[in-house]
Structure 1
Amino acid sequence: MIDIETHSENETVALGIVIGKMLAAGDVLALKGNLGAGKTHFVKGIARGMGIEENVVSPTFTILNYYEHTIPLLHFDFYRLEEEYELDDLGFDDYITNGITVIEWAEKFPDRLPSHAAIISIEKSSSMDRIFHMEFNDDKWIHIEKEVKRYVTSR
């Protein structure tokens, strides 16, 4: 596990950029955190790191925002979902194999997350400060974990 602090929206986006540059098709990031924790700002950074120019917004009401790119970004938000069958109605399992998937409010349906998903819990420690608790549970994340550690020590 890695813990990283950010002290502004810009730093949260910058952390996302570092990670977004290294993601590959099939990667899944499960984001956990209260309202206002910075999940969407983090996803904005991931998209920028991937080279996506579009404005990234929270898919709270649409459940999924799909950003077309060389490798597409699938940005899910489970906040408004009540029952697990709703994921089946969306075709969730089919989507997560077709690009890079980032899920906000992933804690709502933890049993539906693939075993290789990176788990990122975001804790709001003050109005601007955030602590990112990152768990990389699979060997596929070793290079990203090393790069994130390097980024933290270089700031």
Structure 2
Amino acid sequence: MRLDITTHGERETIALGEVIGRVLHPGDVLALHGDLGAGKTHFVQGIARGMGIMEPVVSPTFTILNYYEHDIPLQHFDFYRLEEEYELDDLGFDDYLSQGVTVIEWSEKFLERLPEDAAHITIDKTGPEERIIHLSLVDPRWADVKKEVEAYAAGH
């Protein structure tokens, strides 16, 4: 199933992420796609807030992984600077997938390493502030996310 949501500014992109973050479970993997400056990190900030994580969330472009300890931990990966698949093994990437919620920016670099049931979220910048967020939720595990996103869309 695919859902497309338009946001008009950083606050709305964060708010959509927050709605999704409230219903995530350990083992959920969200693969983010989008150009530089599309709003992927803002979206993750919202996810963290929805999960109850109040510390600042920043892009892990240089660190590859930012780990946020919480009731359900958030593992925020950024594959942008990775060149070879073995680098994922060096990070112990597969071990993280079942431990908490995993969100991956630039996930398209190593799609074959993602679980088949991962949610794919593409953020397209369509104007200075406007974004279209495409959610591809191919597994029944995402039913709660679908319901929350639809309710969010109906209210905006």
TM-score, normalised relative to structure 2: 0.98
Q: Distance in 1 between matches of 2:38 and 2:10?
A: 10
Alpha-carbon deviation of 1:40? Answer: 0.1
Tell me the equivalent position of 1:105.
106
Cα root mean square deviation, aligned = 0.6
Alpha-carbon deviation of 1:56? Answer: 0.1
Structure 1 portions without partners, runs of 5+: none
Q: Distance in 2 between matches of 1:89 and 1:50?
A: 28
How many percent identity over aligned positions? Answer: 66
1:18-33 equivalence runs, <5 A: 18-33=19-34
User: How many residue pairs are counted as aligned between the two chains?
Assistant: 155
Q: Distance in 1 between matches of 2:51 and 2:143?
A: 19
Tell me the equivalent position of 1:90.
91
TM-score, normalised relative to structure 1: 0.99
1:2-151 equivalence runs, <5 A: 2-151=3-152
Structure 2 portions without partners, runs of 5+: none
Alpha-carbon deviation of 1:32? Answer: 0.3
User: 3-state SS of the aligned residue for 2:124?
Assistant: strand
